[in-house]
Amino acid sequence: MSGDAAASAVAPNARDARFRGARGRLTLRIVLLAILSAFGLGLAGLMVWLGLDRWSDYRLYSHQLRVEETRFALRDSLLAAEQAALDLAVLAYGGEPERDPADDLARAAASLEATLGSLAAADLPGGADIAVAVAEKMARLGTIRVELASTPARDDRELAERAADLRALALDLRSLRMRILRAVGVPDVAMGVVHLFRNYALQVHDTIHANAAAYLSILTGLRTPSAAELTLLSRETTRSRFAAPTFIDLVDADPIMAGTTASDLVDFIESEYIPAEEAILQGIRAGAVSPDTVAGWIAAVRQVDELTRRMLAATDEAARRHLGERLAAEWRALVASLLVSGGVLVAYLLCAALIVRRVVGPLGEMRRTMLRLAEGDLRPVGVLRTPLADLLAMNDALRVFRINAVRRERLQQERLELHARIAAAAREMRADLEAAALVQLSQLPPPGHLGGFRFDTYFRASRLLGGDTFDFFRLSDGRVALFQVDVAGHGAAASLVSVAAHIALRRALDALGPEEGPAQAMEDVNRGWREDLPYFTALAAVLDGRTGEGSLVQAGHPYPVLLGSGAPPARLGEGGVPVGVVPEPGWRDIPFTLRAGERLLVFSDGIYDVQDDTGSIFGEDRFMDLVGRLSALPSEDLIAGIEAALRNWSAADEMFDDISLVVVERV
C-alpha cells in the first residue's frame, strides 16, 4: 500500500474516533435540558431583576413618606416654638400676644413627642442619634416651660430671656430637620421642588421672626442697637424684597405649587410687610416709633406667620399627594410586573414539561435503566412509556438481561454478607481491646517528682494489652511506695490479672503502718490471691525522701539495679518466689540507701527476652553492660538509650514480651 493510500485510510478512522468521543460525552437529553435550563435561567433572571427594580422604587417612596411625616412633626414643633417666642417678645414689649405662649409650648412638646414616634418607624440612617437629640430638645423645652410658669407676667427682661431661649431651641430644631433631609435626600425632581418651596417658606418665617425678636428687643428698651446692627437688619429686609420676585417666578412655573397660597405670601411680603418693617427701622433710627406703626408692623408679622403656615400646609399636602400617587403607581407597576412574570413563567413551565414528558423523559429513563444494569443494579425493569417502537424493543431486551444477572448477583451478595459479618466481629473485638488498653494505661502514673525522688518511666506492651503494670505514690506517713508487676502470659487475660494485681498491691501498700515494710504488703496480697488466678512476679519498695533509706521485697521479679555515683551498676534483692505460687513464700524486707543523684532501676523480664533475627535473647549480662555504659546519662536519656538498644536488637516491630521500666532518682 502506498503512503497516500495509508494516509487516506487513517484519516477516516481519526474522524470516527473523534465522532465517537463527542457522541460519548453528549446526549440528546443533555442538549435539550441545557437549552431549556439556559432559557429558563435567563427568563428567571429577567423577572427577578424587574421585580426587584419595582420593589426598590416602591420601598423608596414608602420610606420617603414615613420620613416626610417625621419632618412634618419636627417642623410643627419648630413653628410652635418660634410662635411662642414671638408672643413672649410682644408681651415683654407691652402688647397683647395673639395666643397664650403656654399653649404654643404644649403644642411644641406634643409635636416633639410625635417626632420621636415617627423616627422609630422611619428607619433613618443615624436615626438613633437624631432620636437622642430630639429627646434632649424635649428636655430643654420642658425646662423652658417650667421657667416660664415661674416668671412674673410683666417682668420684661425675664420674658425676653425666655423668648431668646425658645429662638435658640428653634434654631437647633431647624438643624435637626436639615440633618434628616441630608440623611435621606429627595426621591425625584418633583419632591425637590416641594422642598425648595418649603425651605423658602421656612427661611422667610425664620428671617421675619429673627427680625421681629431684634426689633421688639430694641423697642422694649432692653438694649440699644448699634449702627452695624441696624445696617444688618436693613440688609435682611432688602434681601427679602429681592428674593420675592424670584420666588413668584418659581411659583408660576411649577405645576405642583401653582394655585397655592405661595403667591399670596410673596405678594403680602412685597406690599405690606416690607414697608411696615422699613417704617420700624426708620423710626428706630429717628429715635421715635409711634405705637400705631408698631401695632401695624406686629400685625404684618402675624399675617406673614399665618401665610407661611398656610404655604407649609400646602407643601405638606402636595408632598403627601405626590408621594401617595407615586407609591400607588409603583405598587401597580410591581403587581403588573409580577403578573406578567408569573404568566411567562407558567407558559415556560408548560412548554418545558411537554418537552420533558414526550422527548427527554423516555430517553432518560432508557439510559438510566441501561446504566443501572451495567453497574449491577438488578431492580425490576419498568414499563417504558413511549410511542417509539425501537425503544420498546430495547426495553424488552433489558428485561431478559436482568433475569440472567439476578442469579449471579445473589451468589455474590451471600459472599459479601459473610465477609461483612466477619469484619464487623473483628472491628468489635479490636474496639474492646483498645478500650481495655486505655483503662490499663490510665493506671500508670506519669513521670514526675514525688517525696524527694524523681520518677521516669517506660512502658510498651507486646500487643494491645499487656501483663505489666507499675505505680508509685505517697503513703500516709510521708514515705513513697513503688511497685511493679509482671503477670505470666500476654494479651487480654494477662491484662485483666495485672489490673487486679495492681489494685490489690496498691491497697496493701497504702495500708502499711509507719514501722511496716513492703514484705508485709506482699504477704497480704499473697494471702488474698485466689488459687484459680495466674501467678505473677512483683517487686515493691518503700522509700524515705528525708533520709534516702528504703526497703524492697522481690517476688520472683528481676533484680533491680542500683546506679551509684562513680560505682558500677549493682544488683539488689534475693529473688524470691512469685505471688500466688505457695502459701508461705517467706519474703523479707531488703534495706538499701539512695544518696543524692543515685538511681534505682526496676524493670520486667521483657527486657531480657527481646530476640534478634537468630532467636538469641538480649539477656541479663548484655543489659548490665548496657546500663554500665549509659549510667552517666540523665534518666530520660538513659531510658531512651535502653529503648534504642532494644529496638536495634529486636528482629520484629512487636516485642516478644511486655516491657516496663521505672527509674527512681533521689534529688
User: Is 32 inside any structural domain?
Assistant: no
Q: In degrees rounded to 5, what are phi and psi of residue 616?
A: -75, 140
The answer for residues whose C-beta is within 8 angstroms of residue 151's C-beta and 6 or more apart is 158, 159, 162
Q: Residue 303's pLDDT is what?
A: 82
Q: Last residue of a domain, which of 314, 338, 362?
A: 338
User: Is 262 inside any structural domain?
Assistant: yes
Q: Please state the domain count of the chain.
A: 2
C-alpha cell at 325: 400617587
Does 143 share its domain with 273?
yes
Does 330 share its domain with 464?
no
Q: Residue 458's pLDDT is what?
A: 95
Does 188 share its domain with 327?
yes
List the Cα angle 615/618/622 in 5-degree steps.
Answer: 145
Q: Last residue of a domain, which of 305, 338, 371?
A: 338
Task: List 542's β-bridge partners, or say none.
Answer: 481, 551
Pairwise CA distance, residues 573 & 538, whole Å: 12
Q: What is the CATH number of the domain that holds 635?
A: 3.60.40.10
User: Is 184 inside any structural domain?
Assistant: yes
Pairwise CA distance, residues 86 & 214, whole Å: 11
Coil, strand, or helix at residue 659? strand
User: Is 408 inside any structural domain?
Assistant: no
Q: Domain range holding 83? A: 50-338
Q: Last residue of a domain, which of 338, 356, 374?
A: 338
User: Is 423 inside any structural domain?
Assistant: no
C-alpha cell at 312: 407649609
User: Is 516 inside any structural domain?
Assistant: yes
Closest C-alpha to 557, from 571, 577, 528: 577
User: Is 436 inside any structural domain?
Assistant: no
User: Is 432 inside any structural domain?
Assistant: no
Residue 440 and residue 470 in contact, taking contact as beta carbons nearer than 8 Å: no
Closest C-alpha to 191, from 254, 114, 266, 126: 254
DSSP characters for 411-424?
HHHHHHHHHHHHHH
Does 334 share its domain with 449?
no
Residue 484 and residue 604 in contact, taking contact as beta carbons nearer than 8 Å: yes
Q: Residue 39's pLDDT is what?
A: 79
Residue 632: Cβ-neighbour burial (10 angstroms; 0-12, 13-18, 19+): exposed
Low-confidence ranges of the chain (pLDDT < 50): 9-10
Pairwise CA distance, residues 211 & 219, whole Å: 12
Residue 34: Cβ-neighbour burial (10 angstroms; 0-12, 13-18, 19+): exposed
Q: Residue 15's pLDDT is what?
A: 58
Pairwise CA distance, residues 645 & 637, whole Å: 12
Does 329 share its domain with 450?
no
Does 474 share its domain with 329?
no
